[in-house]
Amino acid sequence: MTMRLRWLLTGLLCTPLPAQAQLVAVGLDADARMVDGEVVPPPAPPPDRVVFLEFRDGRALNRREVEVPISFQGPPSAIAFTQDRRTAFVTAATGRTPAEPDKIGPADLLIVVDLAGNQPRVVQTLHLGASPASLALSPNGSMLVVPHADDDSATILRVTGGRAAIVERVRFAKGARPLSAAFVPAGDRVLMTFAGQNVTRLFAVEAGRLKPEPLTELSAGVYPAALAVCGTSGLAVVANYGVVSGDADTVSLIDLTGDRPRVIDTATVGPAPEGVACSPDGRRVAAAIQNMSTVPSSNPRYAPVSKVFLLSIENRRLIRRAEADIGAWSQGVAFVENGTTLVAESIGDQSLHVFRIVNHQLEAAGPPIRFESGGPASLGVSPE
């Protein structure tokens, strides 16, 4: 080996490879328009779509998009990526009614998007038989759990070769209203919120199926909705949405370790936390609260903006650190870039707000990313 080649190889080995940009999917619901507290769809909206953005250093790059049905109904955790970022799964609970195209009616769709090529493309559309509230994909990408709040059930699907197939429908008690699900990192257990019963349950997974009897039941707050698992820390968080009365609602911290998982802390964040997220290292939590921005302006507690809250997890407790205004009708929130960047959706201003996290503070990373065709109603982030 020549000296010049040895120097070249040494330089290549010592030079760090550039980090892969993280993929963020924003689902745009073209029917999501609110007029004085009432959803009033526009007369001739463009198609719904999912916009895929790559994030690097707090900046969005390389925008791609595909027409896919999207729904503002339910928690915003309605998009999920496989580990290799080649496939995305999307659910839609509402859409235009064919017989009455000026009205919004129920839908029951799960859509599979192939991301392997330069242009995303829909490769499968499944009818689930009930409106999906959200979805959760197992860490190994082989199993989907889709809760149905209006049907008090959950559809379990098997994923192979970039396609999904229905395995079974698991039934729950009448009025249970399952809303969100989240797998633990090992993939052998699933958390699920039951808003109608004000509980969160932990289920075992065996051979790609959900065992119907829960391992444990957790009581956190009123109307538990969105969920997030905090990486491999053994912690999870749940947003307790409340009843949109103006009361201050909460986010709860769950300890998943040991034989008896339990709620170990609860923090007040304000009215109606719609989205919740936890950083991969289990050190930070974010909540997007609607803040009474979805009620009529005549309501004495009406507010024109939503908010996003940043909390830290210290000594197994939640500590509020910072807050920032975003547009009305907040939806999803997520940490990206190893927890250094926070993104939060607002249907009201049809924007994705991007913040850098510096010393427990939220600093805007430039103007919000605005979408002309619809309101950001669902959010998905690729695994890091």
Scanning the structure block, which residue is given the tokens 């197994």?
A: 316
CATH 3.30.1540.20 fits domain 21-381: no
67 vs 18, which has greater pLDDT?
67
pLDDT class for 3, splitting at 50, 70, 90?
A: very low
Q: List the domain boundaries for the chain.
A: 21-381
pLDDT at res. 20: 65
Strands 163-171 and 153-160, bridge-based pairing = antiparallel
In terms of Cα–Cα distance, which of 231, 233, 237, 234 is closest to 193? 237
pLDDT at res. 44: 85
* pLDDT exceeds cutoff 60 at 1: no
* pLDDT exceeds cutoff 80 at 16: no
Mean pLDDT score across all residues of the chain: 93
Predicted TM-score of the model (pTM): 0.93
pLDDT at res. 96: 81
Query: Average of pLDDT values for 26-36?
Result: 94
pLDDT at res. 12: 36
pLDDT at res. 5: 37
| 65-107: pLDDT as tens digits | 999 999 999 999 999 999 999 999 999 999 887 777 777 889 9
| 133-151: pLDDT as tens digits | 999 999 999 999 999 999 9
